[in-house]
Amino acid sequence: MKIKNICCIGAGYVGGPTMAVIALKCPHINVTVVDANTKRIESWNGPLEKIPIYEPGLADVISEARGRNLFFSNDLKSAIEKSEMIFMAVNTPTKTEGEGEGMAADLRYIEACAKDIAKYSKSDKIVVEKSTVPIRTAEKIKEILEENSSNIHFEIISNPEFLAEGTAIQDLFKSDRVLIGGDETESGQKAVQALVDIYANWIPKEKILTTNVWSSELAKLASNSMLAQRISSVNSLSALCEKTGADIDELSKAIGMDHRIGPKFLKASVGFGGSCFQKDILNLVYLCKYYGLDEVAEYWHQVVKINDYQKDRFAQKIIDHFGGDLSGKTIAILGWAFKANTNDSRESASIMISETLLQCGAKLIVFDPQVSLKQILSDLKNYKSSFDSNIYDLNKKDLQSFDKKEFDCVAITTEWDEFKKLNFGELPLFDGRRIIAGNKITYKIGS
Ligand code: NAD
Ligand code: UGA
């Protein structure tokens, strides 16, 4: 089956970049990305410097494909109607209420998508799970599609996304692997092949892995959990380094040189952030509990617990430095994004660290090259903080004359390149991302 029209529901950090790259690499396919958020679609259609996602290389891809065979639209109905293949790239956050609250994935957006697809489809469709979902979600989607339509065949396949923010375009151009899971039926295998053919336009065949649906769904949760586990392992060892005089960077290097372990994802930090690691591990924990595997659930839960411990430990170092009271102290927080090269601050370590410092009486001045003060305040509000009057932002100009400002200390929470050049003079420096060389460092994770 040759696909000529693709629709993607969800124009976020995954839907936007993945569809832009598919459109770029497959000029013979029309790709329409739709979203319930009309403002987001407006900005995807607006000036390149204002597209809603900051991602190196993305604007170039958009510039080439947009209007040629890549379209951003609010017309969900017609995008569904005309497409043979529909991607679901909507958010699947942690549930905030009901059964599984605080752990299970909230599938309401997936369910809403399935209802819309059933409502507007007039011909057979291949439905692709691009969002990260709990194992056996495809079954649930199929049920919704069949309950809400008649005489239409829907084939559901799983194609989880492995891109990391900040390197999304290079990850999509040169993926380690593309995973596609489908039913072992004839129609299932045809649908899998249709998607393999799309990726084969730029991904070498040996990197396209096909499996059954359930392996594919679970492989995504497991991959994220294993990556996060490495960070928590290293972060837990950073605490031991501080007690013993070992250096966590030297330790990481020594461990990572064993090729069976490998050097990547062993960087000690203030804790991992981002919209996926924590939610996906908690989702895995919930699934294990659901299937009665309490020990397995507890094993994975510890990865999240160590992450919270690490964030708290960093904030506590600052508090201890000032004898337990931060009243009257002004702290510069450098970095709000959960990592460099993104404007995404979801679950950023900066949020919990800042809240702890604010609770201890500090005044914070926050700088991030891509995250606005409005977003910073909204993150704190969502974290149920009541301290927003003590937060100020430092604009780019001020950053140039940074050392002249009257701060009591500096905390680096995101590894932006621009922070590497700053000189903090005698200011106490808490370098949670281990980026500064040559400045006087009061505390870096592990030292
Ligand atoms: P996002 O919040 O940036 O984007 C999701 C978009 O879907 C939003 O713009 C929202 O308005 C839209 N949406 C929700 N329900 C809708 C509906 N019924 N109809 C139309 N639009 C709807 O989320 P994201 O970061 O792109 O993540 C999407 C999925 O991909 C999640 O499951 C996530 O776990 C997974 N994932 C994310 C990343 C990442 O780096 N962000 C990487 C791999 C996988
Ligand atoms: C992660 C995975 O790397 C992607 O493969 C996956 O597709 C994605 O989650 C997802 O499902 O959303 P992302 O969260 O965008 O990607 O970014 P990462 O590079 O994985 O970083 C996550 C967090 O871990 C960041 O806060 C980063 O600073 C931290 N980190 C990373 C460390 O603390 N140490 C490291 O060695 C590496």
pLDDT band for position 394 (50/70/90)? low
Residue nearest to atom 5 of ligand 2 (CA): 162
Per residue in 401-410, pLDDT (tens digit) is 666 667 999 9
Task: Check 25, 125, 130, 220 and give the catalytic one.
Answer: 220
Gyration radius (Cα) of the chain, Å:
23
The model scores a pTM over 0.75: yes
- Residue with CA at minimum distance from ligand 2 atom 10: 276
276 is catalytic: yes
Which atom, in ligand 1's list, is nearest to the CA of 132?
Answer: 32
Beta bridge partners of 366: 333, 393
The letter for the amino acid at 140 is: K
User: Is residue 137 lining ligand 1, measured as CB closer than 6 Å?
Assistant: no
Kindly give the distance from the C-alpha atom of residue 88 to the centroid of ligand 1, in angstroms, as a whole number.
8
| CA 273–ligand 2 middle distance (angstroms) | 7
Which DSSP string do the residues of 386-415 spell out, in sequence order? --GGGEEE--HHHHHTGGGS--SEEEE-S-
Which residue is catalytic, options 129, 155, 161, 347?
161
Question: Model confidence over 73-92: pLDDT tens digits?
Answer: 999 999 999 999 999 999 99
Over 70: is that where the pLDDT of 98 sits?
yes
Q: Which residues pair with 365 in a beta bridge?
A: 332, 392
List the residue whose alpha carbon is closest to atom 28 of ligand 2.
339
Q: Is 446 in the pocket of ligand 2 (CB under 6 A)?
A: no
Integer CA distances (angstroms), 304 to 125, 273, 277, 360, in order: 38, 11, 9, 24
Q: Which of 276, 279, 344, 345 to mutate to test the pocket of ligand 2 (most atoms within 8 A of CB)?
A: 276
Tell me the residue type at 214: W
Q: 277: buried, middle or exposed (CB in 10 Å: 19+, 13-18, 0-12)?
A: buried
**What pLDDT does 389 receive?**
65
Least confident interval from 19-28, 344-353, 418-427:
418-427
Atom of ligand 1 nearest to the CA of 160: 44
